[in-house]
A and B are shown apart, each in its own frame.
Chain A
Amino acid sequence: MPPYEKINSEVLSVSIESALNAALKVLHFGGSTVMADRTFRNIVSVDKVTKFDIMWRLDNLVVSYDSDGHTKTILKSVGSVGTNLILVSKVIEMSEAVRDGKVKVSEVDDELLKISESTPIHSHFIFILVAGLAAAFYSLFHHGSIESVLIVFASAVIGQTVRLQLQARDIRDSHITFICGLLSAGIASIFLHLGYGQVEIQTLIASLIYLVPGLLMINGFVDFTKQRYIFIGLQRMLNALFLFIILAFVIVTAYTFIKF
Chain B
Amino acid sequence: MESLLKVVDLFCERDERILFDKLSFDVNSGQLLQVVGPNGSGKTTLLRILSGLSSYYEGDLFWKSKPIADQREDFATSLLYFGHQPGVKGALTPEENLRWYCAIHPAMDDRNLAQALEKVGLAGYEDVPCHSLSAGQNRRVSLARLYMTHAPLWILDEPFTAIDKQGVAEKEALLAQHVEQGGSVILTTHHDLSNSGPITRLNLEEYMGT
- Do A and B belong to a common assembly? no
Task: Report which B residues bind A (CB closer than 8 A).
Answer: none
